[in-house]
Amino acid sequence: MKLAHRLLLQSLAIVAVMVVSVVIIIDNELYSSITDQATHDLAGEARFLATQWKSGVDPDSLADAAGAATGHRMTLIDSTGHVVGDSEFDGPALQDLENHSPRPEVIEARKSGVGSVRRLSPSTGEEQLYVAVKSPRGTARVSVTTRAVEEIFARARSGVLVAGVISFLLAAILAVLFSRSVSRPITDLRDVARSLAAGERKRRPALAAPGEVGDLADAVHRLAEQLEARISALAAEQSILSALVETLNEGVIAISPSHEVVRINDTGRRLLSIDRPIPFEIDFLPREATLRGAISLALSGTETETEEAVIGDTTVSLTARPLVNGGAVVALFDLTPIRKLEAVRRDFVANVSHELRTPLTIVGGFAETLQDPDIPADRRAEFAKTILSNTQRMQRIVDELLDLSRIETGHWRPRPERIRIADLSAEVFGRVAASAKAKGITLDTTVAPNAQTIYADRTALEQILLNLAENAIRHTGEGGRITIRTTREGEGVSLDVADTGSGIPPEHLPRIFERFYRADSGRSRDVGGTGLGLAIVKHLVEAHGGSVRAESLVGVGTTIRTLFPDGANAAQS
C-alpha cells in the first residue's frame, strides 16, 4: 500500500475515533442538559402552581386549569399524602388514587424543597418525569412523559450527528491534502533513490519540500552529488587500471572467492586461448597441472613461487597470489620468444662453430703439413691454394655475419632510388656468367612493362640479386635455367629469381631463411655456400619494408619472391 493511502487511512481512522468520541460525549452531556433543563422548567411550573394553591381555592380546579395551560399533568397533594387535585383525574377516579406520601419525589420535596424522579406511572403505565415542590398546604407536583424529553433529545442528537458527519468529511478532505503534501516529497525522494540505485546519477530531488522532509531532500541531493563525484573518480581510476592491465605484456587473471574468473586481459586470453565472456568458472581454464595447482594454493591463501608451465604450444612463467578478502590473482608471462631466442642462440653458436671448424681444421692441417721440408713444390702450391680457399671461406662467413649484425642492429639504413632492373640484372649475370657457363646454365631476364624499376638501395638490391643468383647456380644442374623477372603487385613490385634446380622439400621451406640452415647441408657446403645468403636477403628486403617468400617443388625448381613497395614520392614505373 502506498504511503499516501496509509497516511489517509490512518488520518481518517484518527478523525473517526475523535468524531465518535466527541459525539458520544456531546450526546451524554446533551441528554443530561436537556433532562436538567426539563426538570428546571417543571420545577418552575410546580412553584407557580404552589403559589396559586391558596385557602379557598379548589385544588382540583386549580390543577385542571394549570394542566390545560401548560399541557402537563398537574397534581396537588396535601400534607397527608392524599391527592386533592389532578389535571387528569376527576371525581371518583381522583378519590381512588393511592396515597402519594411514599413517592420518592414527594419525600425529597418535603425534605429539600424540590424533588424529582423518573419512573413508570402506576396510573398511566408510561415513564414519567416527576418534579415536586414543597407548598405550605402540601406538595405541588408537575409531571411529563419522558417521550417528550426524548423527542427533544432526538432532535438535538440529529443536529450533533449531522455536525459530526460534516466535520468528518471536512477532516477527510484535509487528511487527503495532508497525506498528499507529506507523501509527494517522500515519494519523490523514493524515486530519486531508486534512480540513483539504478545508475541514473543525474537525477536530483526537489528542494522545495518543507521542514524535515526538505532537510532530507537536501541531504539526498548532497549525497547524489558526492556519489556522482566518487563514481566518476572510480570510473576514471577503473579506466586507467583497465588500460594499464590491457597494455601489460603479462597475462593477468583475477579469480573471485566463488571460483569465478572475473577479470582477464587480452594477453591472458591469448596465452590461455580463452574467448568466453566474463565471469566464467575456473573449470573453463586449461587443465594444466601447474596452473591448476597454483590457483588452488592461491585460493586457499598460499602464495606460490614462480613456476614454468607449457600450455599448448606456449611456455609461460606463472605466479599466483591470494587476495586479502578471498580470491586470487594469477600473472602469466610468455616465455616462448625467450626460449626461441635461446634456441636460436644455441643453434647459432653451434652452426658458427661447425662452419668455422671445418675450414680451420683444413687450414691447420695443411699449414702443419707445409712445415715438412720434404714436400714437393707442386704439392706445396696445392696445399697453399687449399689454405687460401678455406681462409677466404672463413672471411666470407665473418663478413656476412658482420653484415647481418649491422642490418639487425639498425646501423645500416637503405638509401632507396629508382633502379632499372634490366640494367642491374645484366650486371649481376655478368658477375656469375663464368660459373653459369661452366654448368651450361642459361641466364634470362623478364621485366614486366609496368614493373621496369624498383625503389630500393642500389648496393643492397645488387647484393640481393647476387646472393640469389649464386645460390640458384649452386643448386641448378647441367643445362638448367635461371630467370630474373618482375611483376606488378598492388603498390609494389615483385622481384623473383627462379631456377630449374633440384628444389627444396616442403618441410624445409619455412626455415630456409634462418642462418646456417641448409636443406642439404653436405651438398651446400661442398659447393661453397655459407648458409647466410638467404638470411641476408630476408633482412635486406625487410629493411625496405618489403617481404620475401620461397616457392619450390622437388625436381622442378625453386623461386624466391621478394616484394618491394613503391616509394611514397617516386614516379610510377
Helix 146-197 vs helix 3-52: crossing angle, to nearest 10: 160
Written as tens digits, the pLDDT of the chain (573 aa) is 565 666 667 777 777 787 778 778 777 777 778 788 888 888 998 899 889 888 888 888 988 899 888 888 899 999 888 988 988 888 888 888 888 889 898 899 999 999 988 888 776 667 888 899 999 889 999 988 877 777 776 777 787 778 778 887 887 888 777 777 766 777 777 777 777 777 666 666 665 656 666 777 777 777 777 877 887 888 788 777 777 777 777 888 888 888 888 888 888 888 888 888 888 888 888 888 888 888 888 888 888 888 888 888 888 888 888 988 888 888 888 888 888 877 767 766 666 666 667 778 888 887 888 888 878 888 888 888 888 877 877 776 677 667 666 666 666 677 889 999 999 999 999 988 988 999 999 999 999 999 999 999 888 888 889 889 988 898 888 989 999 999 998 889 999 999 998 888 888 888 788 766 666 554 444 444 556 778 878 888 888 889 998 898 888 899 999 999 986 434 333
DSSP codes joined into one string, 90-137: -THHHHTSPP-TT-HHHHHHHHHSEEEEEEE-TTT-SEEEEEEEEETT
Q: Tell me what pLDDT residue 569 has.
A: 37
Question: Is residue 308 within 8 Å of residue 291, measured between CB atoms?
Answer: no
Q: Do domains 3-152 and 248-334 have the same CATH topology?
A: yes
Task: State the residue for C-alpha cell 586470453.
Answer: 269
327-to-3, 81, 265, 299, 305 alpha-carbon distances in Å: 44, 109, 17, 5, 17
The pLDDT value given to residue 512: 80
What superfamily would CATH give domain 417-565? Histidine kinase-like ATPase, C-terminal domain (3.30.565.10)
CA atoms within 13 A on the CB side of 437: 6
Its pTM stands at 0.41
Domain 248-334 falls in which CATH fold?
A: Beta-Lactamase (3.30.450)
For helices 336-370 and 377-408, angle between their N-to-C axes, nearest 10 degrees: 160
Domain topology for 338-408:
Helix Hairpins (1.10.287)
CATH domain 3-152 topology: Beta-Lactamase (3.30.450)
* Contact criterion met (CB below 8 Å) for 138 and 54: no
User: Looking at residue 498, what is its pLDDT?
Assistant: 92
DSSP code string of 285-345: S---HHHHHHHHHHHTT-PPPPEEEEETTEEEEEEEEE-TTS-EEEEEEE-HHHHHHHHHH
Which secondary structure element, helix H or strand E, spans residue 276, and what is its range? Answer: none
17-50 core/surface letters (b: 16 or more CB in 10 A; e: else): eebeeebeebbeebbeebbeebbeebbebbbebb
Task: State the burial class of residue 362 (Cβ atoms within 10 Å of its Cβ: 0-12, 13-18, 19+).
Answer: middle
What is the per-residue pLDDT for 408?
64
Domain segments of the chain as ranges: 3-152, 201-247, 248-334, 338-408, 417-565
